[in-house]
Structure 1
Amino acid sequence: MTPEQSQTTLEKRTRTNLEKQSRTTLEDRITGALVGAAVGDALGGPVEGYSPTQILERHGGRVHGIVGPWNGGEWRTARPIAPYHKGDGHVTDDTLMTHALVRVYATVRDHLDAYAIADHLVPDLMTTPRWIPELESEALPLHRVFLAEKWLATRLHYGHVDPREAGVGNIVNCGAAMYMSPVGLVNAANPRAAYAEALDIAGAHQSSYGREAAAVFAAAVAAACAPEATPDSIVSTALRLAKDGTRAAIERVCEVASRHTDFESALSPLREAVAPYDTVGPDYRAPSLAARRPSRLHSIEELPVALGMLVVSAGDYRHAVLGAVNYGRDCDSIATMAGALAGALGSPVPGAWSQAVSEASRLDLWEPARTLSEVTREVFERDVRRRRTHESAFTRIAGPRCSD
């Protein structure tokens, strides 16, 4: 395909997506983002940690939908991942944490801060058994989440650390970013507010560029909800708010992504673009000694690549998520983020995928969206009242403006 043909294809996709957006309601966007994130998570889970070449060899081609566990029936004992049933439409901890955060919003019914994580999210993870698809049983969510998420219980419940500082000392990864889409949705079309709220919340979990990524991802989701949003407008918003290495990585990856309209050709270039900012290194399962340490020069890999796939796909859900899945490495989180962004834009999540993931995971993927839609409208109405109260008070103390 020539550069001219690529540009024409991109323009056609963008026009089609804008036409769909004009008919997309707030509830549609919230549903698209949350269901889209869960489906992306489920599709990426079975190939997480592998390279595009390994995925190609294992599956005899690219992954184009739901696939089974990497090690087939030996998933209970196979290394390096065991005993999790990754595949067959099972969501992972990305979705478990996202739904947990929705439950916190349902309880508080207002904006959240780091204290809400200590007061509500941690008890939810520690005390209430839920169906865990990868374990094929009921268990406490805390038993499934990764060590970086167990940190929440260690620091906040057992250590009684100030929630605003509890993330300091944790490994710096995508742990907080992967479940921040609800923050962007509650602040729909207000990226700056989403950034600030996520930065506060994520302080209980992460520091450095891990915390920054959580804030930028939430802002990107909020930007995706804006009328006539496009992948380019989302990236522009992310760049306006992002700091340090996170900003540099997003800028570089998305600049490279803009040269591609198909994920196959973009896989290697996107990895090369993000590599200088990624601390894990070329071998995902053997991280470098500098991996996941605080830094102002680095970035998590997942968010820039998710935004890059959104650009490559021109916002098309299927294309963005499959690109994220076939990228490999931490592809369940990349596909979670790409799926949330494309879904919030209004690109439809394939019904066959969402239904299969819901049935396989034994989760109602639409109930959290209904709940968050109600909460989002309540919070917006409360924000309007607060803003009007502030305007009235400020006008009274400021008096009339003096003319020059």
Structure 2
Amino acid sequence: MTTKITDNVYGCLIGGAIGDALGAPVEGWTHERIQEEYGTLEEFKQYYMPYSKTEPGTITSDTALRQYLCLAIVENSGRVTPVEFADVLQKHLNPDRVWINEEIALKKLIGGIDPWKAGRGSVPDNKMTSAITPVGIVNAGDPVQAYQDGYNLASVLQDGHYRHATATIAAGIAEAITPEATTETVITTMMEQSTGIITRGIDIAVGYAEVADTVGELIDILYDTFLDWRWPAVQWDRQKYKRGEVFSASTLETVPVAIAILLICGGEINRSIIEGVNYGRDSDAVATVVGSLAGALHGADEIRSDWKSTCEEMNRDFFVELEDDQDADFQFMAERLVNVIRAERDKHTDRAEQLSQLLEG
């Protein structure tokens, strides 16, 4: 059983990292442009981002932020609040590895802003939504608590509806790594552990996935009817938006789209990641979310071995930077998170005994 849960946790981490690295070269591209250039993109490519390494297989800020949150959880041997997360960010965050929104949040934290409020007024990007998955892991089997923790932690970097979208992903992961989980139970859990506009967005996207005969048909529908128009733009131009010259990095699009792709692919992990990448737009965010969910469901053993080995090798310098440990990697972090699950079990056992004594006394 320990081997199985470790494989699922590792699947979540490495699946998310692979989706991120595969999607990075075509971030901001339309689905049509990706088709014209690559047919179907499923291999790592060189890319350009000002806040990332750019060699094929290297991660972007989506995965980097996730690993900072993982570190906060393992260093505290359990669930964390915005205070513990903010402490890790102030100690370890390399501003050269993250986008401007995270740089601003770091400056706020250094300046003394309350971590529970640091995300107020932030740009509604996907980084924290992509990063939240270890909160689902540490709350394995308890999506209600995962949602609450995810919502609280999102306050460090996000505001408004976007915190709810992030919390929904945490709840989905908490369900996905349980033994009896299926694609359908994960999606149902996320629908139940959501609220307002996020629930509505997921419901619409899932409805599209249920009527579409192919992934291509689903993407056509999403492009025609579901592009998020709330992304900040100084001058609005519909044609630029449609062409991908301006694109949304909002969770209000990314989360429902990732869930719809997971559903139409039947949760099959390699296919889900590929289709998330080839959706385009905020392609690394869509692919990292769907890769995390499918990886948690099915485990790392089902992920292409060439993807795993390349992604591990190309990001070793990040882990050395993060922890000053030559042996650290995604798999090692997964093993440590499983130890945290054990610690959480022991805390719940102690709590149950205390309640029994209270009731019996």
User: Would you say same fold, with TM above 0.5?
Assistant: yes
- Give the 3-state SS of the residue equivalent to 1:258 in structure 2: helix
- Alpha-carbon distance in structure 2 between the residues aligned to 1:395 and 1:309: 50
Report the alpha carbon displacement of residue 84 of structure 1 after superposing the two structures with TM. 4.7
CA distance in 1, matches of 2:53, 2:121: 30
Match of 1:91 among 46, 49, 59: 59
SS at match of 1:169: coil
Q: CA deviation at 1:286?
A: 2.8
Q: Which residue of 2 aligns with 1:251?
A: 203
Matches of 1:53 and 1:223 in 2, distance apart? 34
Q: 2:28·2:246 contact (CA, 8 Å) conserved in 1?
A: no
2:312 and 2:50 map into 1 onto residues whose CA distance is 22
Contact 2:61 2:127 in 1 (8 A): no
CA RMSD after TM alignment: 2.3
* 1:35 is aligned to 2:3: no
CA distance in 2, matches of 1:391, 1:215: 31
Task: Quote the residue 2:33 is aligned against.
Answer: 54
Per-residue deviation, residues 9-34 of structure 1 (Å, max 9, x unmatched): xxxxxxxxxxxxx9972111101101
Q: How do 1:355-366 and structure 2 match up within 5 A? A: 355-362=309-316, 364-366=329-331
Q: Which of 216, 222, 236 is matched with 2:168 structurally?
A: 216
Equivalents in 2 of 1:215, 1:284: separation in Å?
28
- Give the whole-Å Cα distance in 2 for the aligned partners of 1:219 and 1:388: 27
Q: Which residue of 2 aligns with 1:390?
A: 355
- Checking the alignment, whether the CA contact within 8 Å between 2:58 and 2:314 is kept in structure 1 is yes
1:121 alignment partner in structure 2: 89
- Cα distance in 1 between the residues matched to 2:177 and 2:78: 19
Measured in 1, the distance between the counterparts of 2:282 and 2:190 equals 21
SS in structure 1 of the partner of residue 127 of structure 2? coil
- Kept in 2: contact 1:252–1:273 (CA 8 A): no
Q: Which amino acid aligns with 1:117?
A: F
The Cα shift of 1:105 comes to 1.1
Q: CA deviation at 1:203?
A: 1.2
Give the stretch that moved more between structures: 224-233 or 193-202.
Answer: 224-233
Equivalent residue number for residue 369 of structure 1: 334
Q: How does 1:259-338 map to 2 (within 5 A)?
A: 259-260=211-212, 262-275=214-227, 278-280=229-231, 282=242, 284-286=244-246, 300-338=252-290
Question: CA 1:29/1:243 → structure 2, altered by over 3 Å: closer, same or farther?
Answer: same
Shift of 1:121: 2.7
Distance 1:63 1:346 in 2: 22
Partners of 1:339 and 1:201 lie apart in 2 by 21
Tell me which protein shows more helix as a share of its residues. Answer: 2
Residues 12-161 of structure 1 mapped to structure 2, 5 A cutoff: 25-59=4-38, 61-69=39-47, 75=48, 81-82=49-50, 84-86=52-54, 88-125=56-93, 141-158=94-111, 160-161=112-113
Return closer, same or farther for 1:306/1:395 CA change in 2, 3 Å cut-off: farther
Displacement of 1:395 in angstroms is 5.2
Q: Deviations over 1:63-96 (max 9, x none)?
A: 1222333xxxxx5xxxxx5475545111111111
Q: Which residue in the other structure is 2:304 paired with? A: 350
Give the residue type in structure 2 aligned to 1:94: D
One-letter amino acid of the structure 2 residue matched with residue 250 of structure 1 = I
Whole-Å Cα distance in 2 between the matches of residues 283 and 167 of structure 1? 30
Between the aligned residues of both structures, percent identity stands at: 28
Q: Distance in 2 between matches of 1:52 and 1:34?
A: 26
Structure 1 residues 262-314: Cα deviation after superposition (integer angstroms, max 9, x where no partner): 42332222334533x552364654369xx96xxxxxx5211111111110111
Q: How many residues align?
A: 339
CA apart distance, 1:38: 0.7
Question: What is the TM-score normalised by the length of structure 1?
Answer: 0.78
Distance 1:332 1:89, change over 3 A: same
Tell whether the 8 Å contact from 1:270 to 1:308 is kept in structure 2 after alignment.
Answer: no
Q: CA deviation at 1:383?
A: 2.4
Which protein has greater RCO, CA pairs closer than 8 Å, 6+ apart?
A: 2
Q: Name the amino acid aligned to 1:63.
A: L
One-letter identity of the residue aligned with 2:265: S
Alpha-carbon deviation of 1:177? 0.8
CA contact (8 A) 1:172 1:207 kept: yes
Deviation at 1:118, TM superposition (A): 2.1
**8 Å contact 1:199–1:212 — kept in the other structure?**
yes
User: Secondary structure of the residue that 2:284 maps to in structure 1?
Assistant: helix
The DSSP-based 3-state class of the residue aligned with 2:175 is helix
- Cα shift readout 1:149-190 (whole Å, capped 9, x = no counterpart): 1132122111x1222111111112222111001000111121
Match of residue 236 from structure 2: none
Seen in structure 2, the aligned counterparts of structure 1 residues 321 and 124 have a Cα distance that, compared at 3 Å, is same
Offset of residue 386 of structure 1: 2.0
Inter-partner Cα distance in structure 1 for 2:213 and 2:304:
20
Give the drift of 1:392.
Answer: 3.2
Distance 1:387 1:184 in 2: 22
Of structures 1 and 2, the larger Rg is shown by 1
